[in-house]
Structure 1
Amino acid sequence: MVFAHDTEASLLSAVELVNSAEDPDTLTETAQLAEFFVRHVYTGAHTGDTAELAAVRALRAPLRRLLTSDRDTAVALVNDILAEHRAIPQLVCHGEVDYHVHAVPADAPLSVRIAVETAMAMIDLIRTDDLSRLSICADDNCDGLVLDLSRNRSRRYCSTACGNRNAVAAYRARQR
């Protein structure tokens, strides 16, 4: 199944945000948050201050719970997020991006926009019963999340580093 651009973008952003809490923490400075904002093409309010950084960092655990939940739990969490922020989905078009869904105003805090956009993306995964596209990294020493958007669902590692580490370990084990 091919998801809409905004669904994929929101899921990729959420997975990166959750994985930023892994050792080493890659979201500790406002400059890193600014890079995250640009890399994931967020629009709207972005104060870039330490309060915004703290609010976005605080999302990591709740989003991890959402992205690793079973279907029924994910439904409840999505509904809670949308209700808490009074999300009203609307089609918008701005910049280089064609029509897509926003559910909170552009002046909503970045942490709210991330939470709601992730919840909206999870709606697509839940409705298509495709939660298996989200998993935990197959590396025994890593708890990172994996978003598998491949056609054959073959992605097992959260990063190239984890994949390479396991490939080298397997190679060395075969050489023994």
Structure 2
Amino acid sequence: MSLQSAVVLANTALEPDTLTTIEELDDFFTSYEYSGRHERTLEELEQVRALRPVLRALMLAERDDAVEMVNTMLADAGAVPRLVRHEPYDWHIHACDPDADLVTRLTVETAMAMIDVIRTDEMSRLGVCADDDCDGIVLDLSRNRSRRFCSTTCGNRNAVAAYRARQSDTA
């Protein structure tokens, strides 16, 4: 879930920007079931917004570059993995204190998720949307690695364009 939320967070920076208010940050925080401190301030919102290009760069980096980025993120945050349990989850890993600021927790959780992507050599699961007019990040968790678009909107737009092209060819 941390990797999916990081992709969604990075993609909020696309036009139109969908992370411009504290309410939108609240919705993101709630939707991805984050726990811990959430200040609900403009300063926190701006810090999260500033994190988006960092997450994008990490998820689109080459494997060895991603390793360096992950190690730096974890070191800078003073990450110390430990097992925790809280509702609605059984034992799982948190690598920073729940009182750490939201940006630190988002950074560390994304870095921890990327460890598995890097370790299993699955960087190809992350890429850029196949829509020519979109730069969204795609997280392809499909069995056959067939996901090409960042959203249903981009997929539908391309399906309609392909249909229209086929129709004009037969006309």
Who is 1:100 aligned against? Answer: 92
Residue identity opposite 2:67 in structure 1: V
Residue of structure 1 aligned with 2:15, choices 1, 20, 23: 23
Q: Distance in 2 between matches of 1:92 and 1:152?
A: 34
1:76 paired with 2:71, answer no
Q: Which runs of 5+ in 1 are unaligned?
A: 1-8
Q: Deviations over 1:31-67 (max 9, x none)?
A: 0000000000000000111011011001001110000
Q: Distance in 1 between matches of 2:144 and 2:63?
A: 21
Q: Distance in 1 between matches of 2:142 and 2:89?
A: 22
Give the TM-score taking structure 1 as reference length: 0.95
Q: Distance in 2 between matches of 1:99 and 1:172?
A: 51
Moved over 2 A (4+): none
Who is 2:3 aligned against? Answer: 11
* SS in structure 2 of the partner of residue 93 of structure 1: strand
Give the TM-score taking structure 2 as reference length: 0.97
Residue of structure 2 aligned with 1:113, choices 98, 105, 112: 105
The percent of aligned pairs where both chains have the same amino acid is 60
Q: Distance in 1 between matches of 2:88 and 2:53?
A: 32
Q: How does 1:116-155 map to 2 (within 5 A)?
A: 116-155=108-147
* SS in structure 1 of the partner of residue 8 of structure 2: helix
Q: Which runs of 5+ in 2 are unaligned?
A: none
Q: Between Structure 1 and Structure 2, whose CA radius of gyration is higher? A: 2
Who is 2:39 aligned against? Answer: 47
Q: CA RMSD in A?
A: 0.5
Q: Distance in 2 between matches of 1:99 and 1:82?
A: 21
Q: Per-residue deviation at 1:92?
A: 0.8
Q: Per-residue deviation at 1:143?
A: 0.1
Q: Deviations over 1:115-155 (max 9, x none)?
A: 00000000000000001110100000000000011111111
Residue identity opposite 2:122 in structure 1: D
